[in-house]
Amino acid sequence: MCLVTVIIPYFKKKKYIQDTINTVVSQTYKNLEIIIIYDDTDISDLNYLKKITKSDNRIIIIQNNNNLGAGLSRNEGIKKSSGEYIAFLDADDLWHKEKISRQIYFMKQNYSDISHTSYSIINNKTKKIASIRQAKNFNHVNELLKSCDIGLSTVILKKNILLENNIKFPNLKTKEDFVLWLKLLIHKNKIFALKENLMTWRKSKNSLSSNILQKILDGFKVYNVYMEFNFIKSIYYLMCLSFNYLKK
């Protein structure tokens, strides 16, 4: 049974973190390393985290010296990880108890280095607020350019594909995961879809992902800075991205 490292950045999610951790430690797949990156200069939640995780020796807490943001915190987790596989999870999302076991089995059956799953969406009160987002295969970067249709907390990948190509999360407040998926596709990696609903994404009103202006600014950087498109082409793809987001 391969070791899977679960990477969870933490920043002011005390209300949800215990439920999130519970869905990890209760996985039917047991060979896990769970790395929580504490990314808050205010250490008031740190003792709480240590208290709720002390009963499981698979959990490691790493404390950042400065607030790095989710993407750079995940990079720190990847550097400290020991697993052959990396699974990403945000601190307020939830997993189906068989997520990792089903996904690892699916990846081995399909000779896949990267996979994602379908997922559902809830609000702060754990009420379902949207239809299930269905996962689909991505074989080429052009298939993903106009819409980020991959839920970060659904993704499992082999760590070596990040290390061999020196692929990291960029320093963005939002859309940092979108850049990573695009880079993986640029390097000829295929992203396989397990079309089962195995994750629940919590959409929070005060989260960065709900900050429209920030998303627009970061969306432009995705294309202009990281994809190196010219200004006009970047604006075109940003409009496509925004339209597809609203359509969802």
Pairing of strands 192-202, 114-122: parallel
Between CA 172 and CA 52 the distance in angstroms is: 30
The verdict on residue 146 lying in a domain is yes
- Four-residue CA torsion sign, 42, 49, 84, 192: negative
Q: In sequence order, which residues have a C-beta less than 8 Å from that of residue 207 and are 6 or more positions away?
A: none
Kind and range of the H or E element at 94? strand 94-95
> How far apart, in Å, are the Cα atoms of 108 and each of 156, 158, 184?
12, 11, 19
In a domain, 104, yes or no: yes
Q: Radius of gyration over alpha carbons of the chain, in Å?
A: 17
In a domain, 123, yes or no: yes
The CA distance from 125 to 205, in Å, is 11
Helix axes 212-221, 231-247, angle to 10 degrees: 140
Helices (H), 54-198: 70-80, 99-109, 159-164, 176-186
Please indicate, yes or no, if residue 136 is contained in any of the structural domains. yes
> Does 101 map to a domain?
yes
Q: Which two tokens stand for residue 50?
A: 């240590």
- At 128 the pLDDT is 86
Residues of the chain with pLDDT under 70: 205-210
CATH number, domain with residue 61: 3.90.550.10
Residue 210: the pLDDT is 54
Question: What are the structure tokens assigned to 223, written together?
Answer: 């294309």
The whole-number pLDDT of residue 50 equals 96
Check residue 129 and give its pLDDT: 86
Residue ranges making up the domain that contains 130? 4-204
What local confidence, expressed as pLDDT, does residue 136 receive?
A: 97
pTM of the predicted protein model: 0.95
- Considering only CA atoms, which of 207, 218, 211, 210 is closest in space to residue 241? 218
pLDDT value of residue 124: 85
Q: How many domains does the chain have?
A: 1
| pLDDT score recorded for residue 246 | 81
Asked, for residue 198, whether it belongs to a domain, the answer is yes
Structural element, H or E, at residue 214: helix 212-221
Q: Is residue 186 part of a domain?
A: yes
Q: C-alpha distances in angstroms, 166 versus 79, 159, 160, 183? A: 11, 11, 9, 10
Does residue 241 lie in a domain region?
A: no
Task: State whether the Cα torsion 155-159-165-171 is positive or negative.
Answer: positive
* Cα separation, 231 vs 88, whole angstroms: 32
